[in-house]
Structure 1
Amino acid sequence: MFSGKLFLMFVATAMAQKDLSVDCGDDEWVTVRWRPELGFSQELDSSRALLGNCPPSRPASEDSLFFRVFLRDCGFIQQVTAGRVSYSNTLIYDPQPERAFISQPVQCVYDLSVGEEEPEETFSMEIMNPDFSGPAQSLRFRLGSSIPIRAVVEPRSRRPLRIYLESCEFATDANISRAAQVHPIIANAGCLMGSKAGNSSFLPRRRPDEMRLYLEAVWFAVGEQVFLHCVLEACAVQSLPVVRKACQFVPEHHRWVLLDDPSQSYACTCCDSSCLRTTDASVDGVSARKVLGPLVIVAEDPQGDASLDSQSSAGLSEAPVWLLVFAVVLVLMVCMSVLAVSYYLCFWRGGRLGYRPSRDLLTKY
């Protein structure tokens, strides 16, 4: 959040609707109560509802859903224009598999305080070559291989920043609210879940404003277009307290370890349950949402199609040499066999086919 106090200008785009109540607080938290319009016989089910990528904060009551979330969580999209900062997201309810989603936009808009500057930080995120020497030349990845990711924040002021990945997930659509499938990779405010369930891992930092990691190409929408959705955060470089984190599971140690300071890995103990987002007024930061793709995860060698195409176009002109040699030898063997059979029948057996010795000659001697 920007330094200084934010003055609340606008509560929500749908505040006037009786089925939606949105309270955009000045403490970076938003409270939402929503009653989606269902059929007469349908009961409200909390497990079918999301605010961005966050489930309800508690079970449904009085036919309403309740969310209380941090504006940096749940995939809120931040935009700053003309001295205002807005946070946008979407409420989604899936009533039945055979029916369409019910959706409702949510937005909070704030005025920046007098004398407060707009954020000048620039976030970037790329899929890289395996050695991180440049952008990836191909976005096709074999199942089980590593997808190199690089995220950077470029501060335009003199204050040093440290970048974090608050959340990342694979989805089958560039708009995550429309995605038919979603697979979480980083969750719980910085826990690399793919490091425990697979071979994903953070790389040691080279500098605070850069983060590199390998994501495993998991069995998700194989052969289809896949998009990587990530929420990036950056805050002032500091040692204590641990407010934002980058945690990964280290099998050798059988525990979660904090990337930047393993001695404070206690901050990662919640990764297997639910991490509560803590706020600290002294820690100011900025965030952005990035979407990479489309990439494709394939079950075979990602270069297999190209090699098959080149072999097919080559045709017989590029047939293996051994095949030609085998054909010549086979023809020679057939010819030798025909000659041998012919000699046996025509010469050794009497010079003609069907030859039978005369009975007289047999009894003469």
Structure 2
Amino acid sequence: MAFFWHGAVLFSLVVAASVHAEMKLDCRPGFVSLVWTERRSQVDTSLFRLGSCTPTSTTAWAATFNVEFIDCGFRSMVTGNQFVYSSELTYSDSKGQTLIQPVVCMFDRPNDWFPITYDPVFETYGQSDLVFHMALMNDDFSGPAESTRFTLGSFIPIMARVEQNTHQPLLLLMEECVAATTPQLHPDSHLYNIITNKGCLTDSKRSRSRFEPRTMTSEILLSLQAFKFALGEEVFIHCKLVAWDPEGIDTTKKACSFVKGQGWKLLDNPAYSNLCDCCETSCKSRWTRSTHPGHHGISQKVVLGPLTITEV
């Protein structure tokens, strides 16, 4: 598959790199090679990071990465006719020197990659062979959405799923979700909060949004009432998904929605809805049994969109 740089991104990289460094990038399907060559002797090249990955090799002047997208936590999305993989090359040392450079690979999408009635959908790959998905669904969640346009007040059916492969059964949760007008979040992004505070469906306090009953622990269904945000513009839903031990639900690993006249209710066991009480304050982290020794869950950021909300 051919790849090419988006013009605006290329320009920013050339300008930034021309002052004190040079970057060479080779994008291949599923794989990327990146060489960052420094001209400043005080830079410790071992401190460079590509996403979550450390350099494959370093010299006094260069950091080299030969890695797979899935290993470094690249964000992946499908939009229009392209696959887009994005991350950042970062550097930070004890002297306060920092660097953040976007790294983007774009590939032509095969024509048969996904049904045209289900376009676009974004996928993000997680850790330990887990694959996370988010998708727009039809009204009864029985299949993919036929349109990405929703009128104000109607429901936006969203399904998230984790493919578990050989893992023990996991419980999928939406820890945080926001709406934005861009596929990547920036410090000045205009946001609409949907899920906050470690699994609290904040939007349910001001709307009819709700989690739907589960049919399997590896899926979570959200009926999101279309909200008055960026009407007529492209909207992207940014979520942090968490795969967790089903026996380890606590105040920081939960799915809570607000029911008018009843208060906050826990999706998976309403008898323990007291775990949702912190939705009105702050849900603090605490230790609990996890899916793997030494780990407190497996999480991944996923982006869904674009979709459009209209008044009529």
Q: Above 0.5 in TM-score?
A: yes
Q: For 1:209-248, list aligned pairs within 5 A.
A: 209-238=218-247, 243-248=252-257
Deviation digits for residues 90-137 of structure 1 (CA, Å, limit 9, x no counterpart):
99xxxxxxxxxxx9649xxxxxxxxxxx60111111000111121111
Deviation digits for residues 231-271 of structure 1 (CA, Å, limit 9, x no counterpart):
10001221665651001101131x11111111111111111
User: What's 1:293 paired with?
Assistant: 305
Higher strand share: 2
Paired residues of 1:141 and 1:296 also in contact (CA < 8 A): yes
CA distance in 1, matches of 2:253, 2:275: 9
Q: For 1:29-40, list aligned pairs within 5 A.
A: none
Tell me which structure has the larger Cα radius of gyration.
1
CA distance in 1, matches of 2:133, 2:287: 25
Q: Which amino acid aligns with 2:232?
A: G
Root-mean-square deviation (Å): 3.1
CA distance in 2, matches of 1:86, 1:223: 29
User: What's 2:264 paired with?
Assistant: 256
Paired residues of 1:171 and 1:181 also in contact (CA < 8 A): yes
How far off is 1:195 after superposition? 0.8
Deviation digits for residues 200-222 of structure 1 (CA, Å, limit 9, x no counterpart):
10001111111111011100000
Higher helix share: 1
Paired residues of 1:173 and 1:179 also in contact (CA < 8 A): no
| Secondary structure of 2:254 counterpart | coil
| Secondary structure of 1:119 counterpart | coil
| Secondary structure of 2:186 counterpart | helix
Identify the match of residue 274 of structure 2 among 262, 266, 269. 266
Q: Which amino acid aligns with 1:133?
A: S
CA distance in 1, matches of 2:198, 2:244: 14
Going from structure 1 to structure 2, the CA distance change for 1:181 and 1:241 (only over 3 Å counts) comes to closer
| Secondary structure of 1:176 counterpart | coil
Q: Which amino acid aligns with 1:256?
A: W
Paired residues of 2:179 and 2:235 also in contact (CA < 8 A): yes
Paired residues of 1:243 and 1:280 also in contact (CA < 8 A): no
Residue ranges of structure 2 left out of the alignment (5+ in a row): 1-41, 48-68, 76-86, 91-97, 102-126
> Is 1:147 aligned to residue 147 of structure 2?
no
- Identity rate of aligned residues, in percent? 40
Q: Which amino acid aligns with 1:235?
A: W
| Secondary structure of 1:270 counterpart | helix
Q: For 1:71-220, list aligned pairs within 5 A.
A: 81=71, 105=100, 119-177=128-186, 180-220=189-229
Going from structure 1 to structure 2, the CA distance change for 1:258 and 1:104 (only over 3 Å counts) comes to farther
CA distance in 2, matches of 1:243, 1:227: 25
Paired residues of 2:242 and 2:299 also in contact (CA < 8 A): yes
| Secondary structure of 2:221 counterpart | strand
